[in-house]
Amino acid sequence: MDLKDKVVIITGASSGIGEACAFEFAKRGANLVLAARQYVKLCEIADAIHKKYNVRTLAIQTDVSNEQDCKDLINQTISTMGKIDILVNNAGISMRALFKDLDIDVLKKIMDINFWGTVYCTKYAFNQILNNSGSIVGVSSIAGYKGLPGRTGYSASKFAMNGFLESLRNENLKNDIHIMVACPGFTASNIRNVALNSEAKPQGESSMEEDKMMSAEEVAKNIVNGVVHRKRDLIMTAQGKLTVLMQKLFPKLLDILVYNHFKKEKDPLIS
């Protein structure tokens, strides 16, 4: 796919992977619609991208957990840009709490943003993307292939996203539409700082060593390359690929390895 003059919607575009994807798509000539709740930050990013790459940019304040916001996002994009070629469902939130300790509202908030946000945006953008032989991307996680301790809601939301997109792909096997599930490794961003604790409040300090993780820019390049080459699944690290393989072949052994890995994080939830 040649990205020049394509119209790309990116949710969760105010920071991290979403922001990095915006710059990477613009670098290759795409016009951008940036969606997130932080409108001022979105406008600053849109302005910076326009000045650097001279592409069209549009910032739309959007809470993807709100269906009407998602519908408005799509309608405003069509009204202003005239079409939609690519949708990157990147908006997401994580969590860190044992299931026995958490408020059930934590799971609801995670599902509303990570799963339903993807469903809403995809639903209202689908016909446009189908007509333009475009792409739908879900930024998922290895947590969507393997349940992780202390992340019951996050894993559930990513399993749900993966299943939704896989079903959508199969429904449209005979149609010219590209659907990709992208799974970064642990990525340096603020997602762990704002991850919900047992009381559905941001936990603050990250529980992991952020300086040893993939950069958001590296992830963005992989995602954009995946769109260009119309990849089906994009698992970006050797650790991730090994996890998916072991889950199929040696799930019990993987349980032990995952448990041992997470009991080493800062202030571990398990021991």
CATH of the domain at 169: 3.40.50.720
Total domains in the chain come to 1
Residue 230 pLDDT: 98
Q: Which residues contact 130 (CB under 8 A, 6 or more apart)?
A: 172, 175, 176, 177
As a whole-number percent, the residues of the chain with pLDDT over 70 amount to: 93
- Taking 80 as the threshold, does the pLDDT of residue 211 lie above it? no
- Taking 90 as the threshold, does the pLDDT of residue 204 lie above it? no
Residue 192 pLDDT: 47
Residue 186 pLDDT: 74
CB burial of 187-220 (b: ≥16 within 10 Å; e: otherwise) equals: bbbebbeebbbbebeebeebbeeeeebbebbbbb
- Taking 80 as the threshold, does the pLDDT of residue 96 lie above it? yes
Top mean-pLDDT range of 55-69, 183-197, 204-218: 55-69
- Taking 50 as the threshold, does the pLDDT of residue 178 lie above it? yes
Q: Does any domain span residue 154?
A: yes
Return the active site residues.
Answer: 154
Residue 187 pLDDT: 66
- Taking 70 as the threshold, does the pLDDT of residue 209 lie above it? no
Predicted confidence band of residue 64 (pLDDT cuts 50, 70, 90): very high
Q: Does any domain span residue 253?
A: no
Q: Does any domain span residue 259?
A: no
As a whole-number percent, the residues of the chain with pLDDT over 90 amount to: 85
pLDDT in tens, 120-172: 999 999 999 999 999 999 999 999 999 999 999 999 999 999 999 999 999 99
Average model confidence (pLDDT) for the chain?
93
Q: Does any domain span residue 220?
A: yes
- Taking 90 as the threshold, does the pLDDT of residue 35 lie above it? yes
Residue 228 pLDDT: 98
Domain interval for residue 39? 7-238
Residue 190 pLDDT: 55
Q: What is the mean pLDDT of residues 26-45?
A: 97
Q: Does any domain span residue 269?
A: no
- Taking 50 as the threshold, does the pLDDT of residue 60 lie above it? yes
Predicted confidence band of residue 118 (pLDDT cuts 50, 70, 90): very high
Q: What is the mean pLDDT of residues 228-250?
A: 95
H/E element, 7:
strand 7-11
Q: Does any domain span residue 271?
A: no
Maximum separation of any 2 CA atoms in the chain, in Å: 54
Please report, as a single letter, which amino acid is at residue 92. G
Q: Does any domain span residue 255?
A: no
- Taking 80 as the threshold, does the pLDDT of residue 189 lie above it? no
Show the tokens assigned to 212: 């040893």
Q: Does any domain span residue 265?
A: no
173 vs 168: CA distance, rounded Å: 9
Nearest to 36 by CA among 55, 18, 21: 18
- Taking 90 as the threshold, does the pLDDT of residue 214 lie above it? no
Q: What is the mean pLDDT of residues 41-55?
A: 97
Rounded to an integer, what is the distance from CA 93 to the centroid of its chain?
9
